[in-house]
Amino acid sequence: MKSAAGHAKKIAQDEETIRQRLTELAAEHSQAALARATGLSNNRIHYYLRGKRIPASVCSALVRELGVNPAWLIGGEGAPYLADVETDEAVTATGLLALVERLNALSRMRLGALAGKDNTKIFRQLNDSLTLFRELKESLSAKARPVLSRLLDEFEDNMINDRLRAAQGLCKSIEQVLELCNDDELTHRYERSLARLEYRLARMDRATAMYQRVFARSFLKDGALTEDDVRLASQFVTALHSARRNRDARRLANVVLALCEGESKNEYHHRILFQKGYFNVDLGNIAQADQCMRPAFAALNLESRRGAIAPIILVDVLMGIISLQEGVDRLMSFLRKAADRGTANLIVPLLLPAIAFENQSALKKLTGALPPAANLDHALGDLPFSHANIMISTPLNTEAVTRHLKRDSVRAYAESDDVQKVFLHHVLACQLHRLAGSHRQAVEELQTSEKVFQDSPERDQHRITVVMLHCRNTQMLLLKQKRRPQHASLLDHAQKYLEELYQSGYACLKPWVGTAASTQT
């Protein structure tokens, strides 16, 4: 309790320090100028000056718009403005200039004269300048270190409490202070948190690049991987999977699990084992997925199980252990017990098979579980939800489908650079045209879907439930039609694919195969 009270007292002191700096800035620039710089009202600035808690985004805006020195604003160190830092640190500039002059003198010496007694003075001066330079760097670093630590505390607190915009606003300040602070531990801490932020913002290319750089350091040290290393690897695997770089995600998972062989297993090891199993679902290896996911799920803590509940229910549905309706009811029961409404990442795994099997009851329950202001930050975005909503709320006719497909947010999927989103768009468009009775448009979308699928670089680039729907579209459109030569191979391929999946353990496909391919769901 004492440490908690002391921490609270320290936070209050830091707040008051920043408020004093803000008062100085208001005296120099006026409250109106601060309001313009931060994008806030005059009243809001007045409240901050009178004692209201000052958010980090305000500090970041002052650094960005007015050039305020973050070290001065937060810790009272250095000059008030970044432009004055060079003047304030004249000793540093003098020291660096002296070092350059010594190096220039050395470069003018002839190579053969380096050992001469006459040049001893130059070497001594050079050595003195290098020593001074190192001392100056360490002095700057020592001053910047506590400021950087406090900024990182604020950054991580914003991440924990889902204040992603506030965390973004701190990045520039942190990176400026990092230039002055030679501390590998704090640099590594920031890069880890930044990678997580990029993932939370669904900027998967930037997230995976950052994770790759940070994780590489885990292999540059002696000894076994630590728990923090394995946790970072788990996040990296998740980011790669979200970016649909499934081959890389599988390789990384296998490497980390191999390195942990014989070591005591921790929470993050079980997460990676679970993820490895989940990858096999989209590869068509449902039995292997079950062998990894079920024991890993049993070993996860309650918080981790929350994120893993939908995938494990999906496996039960795909294997025919429970029906889709039973799976949806189980997820809804879990959400009620957790006193939490569903998030996109929890709902999408079951929403896609509900769309594929055109189960109206399941669709209504799943879309109803999504909060109105939900952050659809998962890889597939909002298209599955808007598609499900039109399936359950609009009489499907050609006009309604055309109007839906012309929406900018829907059309963006067809124009995306992400092959997964392009395939999803055309498969869902084909389904809507088919259900609306627009046969010609449905067949056109089917052919486009097939071309995207065949051109995809990896077999598991797409969710297997979306591929199942693509095959179902093929059955429903071509099975009872006169077989044109160009359609015959497409239908045969779809039938064979569904049969192979069924035989390998995807028992949910029973209504679609065999005597088959009955047109009844």
Per the domain annotation, does 432 fall within a domain? yes
Q: Residue 32 carries which DSSP code?
A: H
Is 199 within 8 Å of 175 (Cβ atoms)? no
Is 140 within 8 Å of 180 (Cβ atoms)? yes
Per the domain annotation, does 266 fall within a domain? no
> Pick from 82, 110, 138: which residue ends a domain?
110
pLDDT tens digit sequence for 158-191: 888 888 888 888 888 888 888 888 888 888 889 9
**Which residues form the domain of 51?**
15-110
Cβ count within 10 A of residue 309 = 19
pLDDT tens digit sequence for 452-475: 998 887 766 788 999 999 999 999
Going by C-alpha positions, the residue among 404, 493, 402 that lies closest to residue 441 is 402
Segments in 201-266 forming alpha helices (H): 204-216, 227-242, 246-259
In the three-class reduction of DSSP (H, G, I as helix; E, B as strand; rest coil), residue 81 is classed as: strand
Per the domain annotation, does 427 fall within a domain? yes
> Pick from 110, 137, 165: which residue ends a domain?
110
Per the domain annotation, does 131 fall within a domain? no
Q: What percent of the chain has pLDDT over 70?
A: 78
Cβ-based burial of 13 (10 A; exposed 0-12, middle 13-18, buried ≥19)? exposed
Going by C-alpha positions, the residue among 511, 514, 515 that lies closest to residue 357 is 511
Per the domain annotation, does 240 fall within a domain? no
Task: Say which residue, 30 or 394, is predicted with more confidence.
Answer: 30
Question: What gap in Å lies between CA 476 and CA 25, rounded to an integer?
Answer: 70
Per the domain annotation, does 467 fall within a domain? yes
For residue 112, name the pLDDT band (cuts at 50, 70, 90).
Answer: very low
Cβ count within 10 A of residue 288 = 17
For residue 433, name the pLDDT band (cuts at 50, 70, 90).
Answer: very high
Place of tokens 């313009």: 36
- pLDDT over 90 (residue 508): yes
Cβ count within 10 A of residue 226 = 12
According to the model, what pLDDT value does residue 271 have? 92
CA distances to 15, 18, 73, 173, 229 from 12, rounded to whole Å, are 5, 10, 15, 21, 34
Going by C-alpha positions, the residue among 259, 256, 224 that lies closest to residue 238 is 256
For residue 512, name the pLDDT band (cuts at 50, 70, 90).
Answer: very high
Is 422 within 8 Å of 413 (Cβ atoms)? yes
According to the model, what pLDDT value does residue 345 have? 75
Going by C-alpha positions, the residue among 14, 355, 247, 512 that lies closest to residue 503 is 512
Is 106 within 8 Å of 126 (Cβ atoms)? yes
Q: What percent of the chain has pLDDT over 90?
A: 28
Contacts of 398 (CB under 8 A, 6+ apart): 433, 436, 437, 438, 441
Going by C-alpha positions, the residue among 217, 262, 270, 211 that lies closest to residue 237 is 211
Per the domain annotation, does 231 fall within a domain? no
CA distances to 15, 475, 505, 518 from 479, rounded to whole Å, are 70, 5, 24, 10
Task: Say which residue, 501 or 17, is predicted with more confidence.
Answer: 501
Question: Strand ranges (DSSP E) for 136-182?
Answer: none
According to the model, what pLDDT value does residue 98 have? 52
Question: What gap in Å lies between CA 207 and CA 192, rounded to an integer?
Answer: 10
According to the model, what pLDDT value does residue 515 have? 47
- pLDDT over 50 (residue 407): yes
Of 239-248, 279-288, 444-453, 478-487, which range is least confident?
Answer: 478-487
Question: What gap in Å lies between CA 124 and CA 133, rounded to an integer?
Answer: 14
In degrees and rounded to multiples of 5, residue 243 shows phi and psi of: -80, 5
First to last CA, the chain: 60
**Two tokens at 439?**
């046969």
Question: What gap in Å lies between CA 315 and CA 311, rounded to an integer?
Answer: 6
Task: Say which residue, 270 or 41, is predicted with more confidence.
Answer: 270
Question: What gap in Å lies between CA 471 and CA 492, rounded to an integer?
Answer: 10
Question: What gap in Å lies between CA 341 and CA 330, rounded to an integer?
Answer: 14
Query: pTM here?
Result: 0.68
pLDDT tens digit sequence for 113-131: 445 555 666 666 666 666 6
> Pick from 110, 138, 168: which residue ends a domain?
110
Q: Mapped to the 3 state alphabet, what secondary structure does 93-106 carry?
A: HHHHHHHHHHHHHH
Question: What gap in Å lies between CA 203 and CA 10, rounded to an integer?
Answer: 35
Is 188 within 8 Å of 224 (Cβ atoms)? no
Task: Say which residue, 299 or 46, is predicted with more confidence.
Answer: 299
Per the domain annotation, does 476 fall within a domain? yes
- Total count of domains within the chain: 2
Average model confidence (pLDDT) for the chain? 81
According to the model, what pLDDT value does residue 290 have? 95
Supply the Cα-derived Rg of the chain in whole angstroms: 30
pLDDT tens digit sequence for 53-80: 777 667 777 777 887 777 677 666 667 7
What are the residues facing 81 on neighbouring strands?
68
Domain containing 20 — which CATH number? 1.10.260
Going by C-alpha positions, the residue among 340, 276, 272 that lies closest to residue 306 is 340
Cβ count within 10 A of residue 480 = 8
